[in-house]
Structure 1
Amino acid sequence: MDLTQEEWAEQLKNDDNAFVLDVRTPEEVEEGYIANSANIDIYLGQGFMDEIQKLDTSKNYYVYCRSGNRSGQACAILNSIGIENAYNLESGFMNWEGEVVEP
């Protein structure tokens, strides 16, 4: 499900069962990331599949990438393995106005 930047941030703030997933490359993560996010690079292909299979299906996943395209794909993949609540950050990290952690 696509959420605007405002919806994503507001819903995340009020969610006690949230898991923030960054699907960008390690190089992109070096430029900064949203606090408390875990990074699994969607470009890893099978490696990405192996890692997401380990995730807790009962959590609510807030997924982002640079622009919103890869995270949209990732949400569809999460849905396909039984994770019902996956929220895509529309327009991605490049438009994120919330707190950013600098590595």
Structure 2
Amino acid sequence: MQTITAEELKARLDAGEKLNIVDVREPHEHADFNIGGTLVPLGKIQTMQADELDEFKDQELIVYCRSGNRSGQACLILDTLGFTNTKNLVGGMLYWQEKIG
């Protein structure tokens, strides 16, 4: 697992890069505010029911949550499942909303 900052991610999104972004929060959190990531709650990843992510095993996969804790856990789990390029968004959506808006 590597990390990516909100500023780095925002710059890449603004540049129009096609990114694989996953939100591991709960559906109500995703509905309140998100940056366009695919919703796959941490519980699905913990129970290894995140088959929809298999196509990204050898691609960069940016994972975010509220504060960076759950997404860090998700990255560690995904790494053990054979994912080769997971990145945790440092500070999660709390930091994003504070610094990016």
TM-score, length-scaled by structure 1: 0.76
Counterparts of residues 1-103 of structure 1 (less than 5 Å): 1-11=2-12, 18-35=19-36, 37-44=37-44, 45-46=46-47, 49-52=48-51, 54-56=53-55, 57-97=57-97, 98=100
Q: Contact 1:64–1:93 at 8 Å: present in 2 too?
A: yes
User: Paired residues, what number?
Assistant: 96
Instruction: Name segments (4+ residues, structure 1) moved above 6 Å.
Output: none
Instruction: Give unpaired runs (5+ residues) of structure 2.
Output: none
Q: Which amino acid aligns with 2:29?
A: E
TM-score, length-scaled by structure 2: 0.78
Q: Contact 1:24–1:41 at 8 Å: present in 2 too?
A: yes
Q: Which amino acid aligns with 2:49?
A: D
- Give 1 or 2: higher strand fraction: 1
SS of match in other structure, 2:20:
strand
Q: Which amino acid aligns with 1:51?
A: A
Q: Which amino acid aligns with 1:94?
A: L
CA RMSD of aligned residues (A): 2.3
Instruction: Give unpaired runs (5+ residues) of structure 1.
Output: none
SS of match in other structure, 1:88:
strand
CA deviations over 1:45-82 (Å, ceiling 9, x no partner):
41xx1114752112210100000000001111111111
